[in-house]
Structure 1
Amino acid sequence: MPETRTRPTALAIWLVVAGVIGWWAAFSLTVEKFHLLENPSAALGCDFNVLVQCAANLDAWQGSVFGFPNPLLGVTGWVAPVVVGMALLAGARFSRWFWALFTLGMAFAFGFVCWLIGQSIFVIGTLCPWCMVTWVVTIPSFYAVLLHAIRIGAIPLPRPVRRGADALIGWLPLLAVLSYVAIAVMAQLRLDVLGMLF
């Protein structure tokens, strides 16, 4: 695999950083959920106003899609990027099948987050702070892992596509920012965020 002879150090560092941030957000939201279960009328630390709050998201059915609080998925799931990132920094070299499966896992996380973004903005009508932290790290993490998997051939695509993915890696911060802008525009159009905050 000549494409992987150079260790993806930047990707490894990002996976560790994003994993730690994502895990902390999920853990904090889990603690808030436990607090809410103990005292349903309590004001949560992440409840700032009618628009920016956690309680509405945690109480909605969308907050427990699989029968348990969504943050538990994050508490378990964010361990994987941390482990993969640390392993890469330690010199591990993963096979293509591993990168394909890891990309599949990140794709599930990305798809689930996109669905939750839509539910939060268009159905529940709130912006959960800890959820938004999760969005911020999940989106670029998916892009980074997907582009890396394509460029090393873990996802079997034609060579021009692989070269394109290799070139797009350098534009990853811009891709993430554009995604954040799209979310912000949707939130503004639907919820009038600026009008609520000022």
Structure 2
Amino acid sequence: MPDTPQPASKRGLGVFLLVAGVLGLLAAYELSVEKVLTLSDPEHVPSCNVGVLVGCSTNLESWQGSVFGFPNPFLGMMAWPVVITIAVALISRVEFPRWIWIGFNVGVAGALVFVGWLIYQSIYVLDVLCPWCMLTWAVTIPTFWAVTLDNLREGRIPSSARVQRLAGAWFGWIPLITVVCYLVVILLAQAQMNAIPRVMLDLQNLFG
């Protein structure tokens, strides 16, 4: 296959996915290490425990932290390298067949649903905000929008010409869409947990 020029938007998507994948893998790695250290030493205090509201211990020790019978971060250790691989391939101008893009979209959609459920559990059940978990949420949300809107605008997901045009227009608004999603999470956390003052108090105790 000849080496045809790739649209700048595809390489830009690749760069974004690379950054998101690296950050997601970092979060999964840190949580995995803390889980292993906690299992090997029940007295271990995770470094991500900032205060009463901000910490990892509650999440890691809960059943929500091992939904599939093993620690959730292990999923990230398996999934984020896939995102990184696809990102590097895009930057290197590799063209993927449609079925890979559809499979990728199914994967990021599943990740978003799982993250949404974890956000609910953290805010409404566990009453704690895990820093590395929040980093995972932060990169999963725009990853879903970027992959989904790109697939729609390119017609990989069967859709009308109007939907493709809308997806192409919305693609440029992904930063704003992401910020709106973040604000929704923040508002939910504030309404249920009185999160902002409690986070500030934790940080004050940490650095004060």
TM range (shorter): over 0.9
Letter of the 1:164 counterpart: L
Gaps of 5+ in 2: 202-208
Which runs of structure 2 are paired with 1:1-198 in the superposition (5 Å)? 6=7, 8-196=10-198, 197-198=200-201
CA contact (8 A) 2:46 2:57 kept: yes
Paired residues, what number?
195
Aligned equivalents of 1:35, 1:190: Cα separation in 2:
31
TM-score by length of 1: 0.95
Q: Distance in 2 between matches of 1:60 and 1:66?
A: 12
Distance 1:135 1:103 in 2: 17
Q: Secondary structure at the match of 2:86?
A: helix
Gap runs ≥5 in structure 1: none
- Deviation per CA, 1:95-114: give whole Å up to 9, x if none: 22211111001101111111
- Residue 204 of structure 2 is matched in structure 1 by none
Distance (Å, rounded) in 1 between the aligned partners of 2:177 and 2:129 = 22
CA displacement at 1:42 relative to structure 2? 2.2
Q: Is the 8 A contact 2:11 2:93 kept in 1?
A: no
Matched AA of 1:89:
I
SS in 2 for 1:78: helix
Q: Distance in 2 between matches of 1:88 and 1:18?
A: 14
Instruction: Please tell me the residue identity of whatever aligns with 1:165.
Output: A
Q: State the distance in 2 between where 1:20 and 1:76 align.
A: 12
Amino acid at match of 1:155: I
Q: In structure 1, what is the Cα distance between the partners aligned to 2:165 and 2:6?
A: 16
Higher mean alpha-carbon deviation, 39-48 vs 52-61, is at: 39-48
Identity of aligned residues (%): 45
Which secondary structure does the structure 2 equivalent of 1:79 belong to?
Answer: helix
Runs of 4+ in 1 over 4 A off after TM superposition: none
Per-residue deviation at 1:16? 0.5
1 CA distance for matches of 2:11 and 2:44?
Answer: 44
Shift in Å at residue 194 of structure 1? 2.2
Contact 1:96 1:153 in 2 (8 A): no
Deviation of the 1:44 alpha carbon: 1.1
RMSD: 1.2
Task: Please report how far the alpha carbon of residue 5 of structure 1 lies from its aligned counterpart in structure 2 after TM superposition.
Answer: 6.0
